[in-house]
Copies of this chain bind each other. A is one copy, B any other.
Amino acid sequence: MANIYDNAYDLEKAIRNSDEFQGLKEAYEAVMADEAAKKMFDNFRETQINLQQKQMQGEEITEEEVQQAQQVVQLVQQHEVISKLMEKEQQLNTVINDVSRIITKPLEELYGTPEEQ
């Protein structure tokens, strides 16, 4: 029992010390240190969250909203400091998803994947 938590804290430390997390941290701090980039990034995040919430609540998303969201995405993709941050987020996400798949394997084996049932 204690063993699980010990291992979880070791893993947390390994994530924290990883190149992926350190790279993300630097990229995030670079965006936060640049007022215009920070504003653009906040706007991007807000747009994404709003659209996700609408989708989850089954609300209709207008064509105008889709176009606005696409414009915001294009803006951040063209912004070097922000696109660097998004790339670093993607890299750490991949690692976190791998980790999540590894540690939920016992459960997946027990209950079986949908395909195996």
Binding site for B on A (CB under 8 A): 1, 3-12, 14-21, 24-25, 28, 56-59, 92, 95-96, 98-100, 102-107, 110-111
Contact = CB atoms under 8 A, between A and B. Distances in A.
A98 B4 CA distance: 10
Given A5-B98, A98-B8, A99-B103, A110 B28 contact: yes
A14 B17 CA distance: 22
Contact of A4 (B15, B28, B58, B59): B15
7 shortest interchain CB distances as A-B pairs: A58-B58, A7-B11, A16-B106, A8-B102, A8-B99, A7-B14, A3-B14
Given A59-B58, A99-B103, A18 B5 contact: no
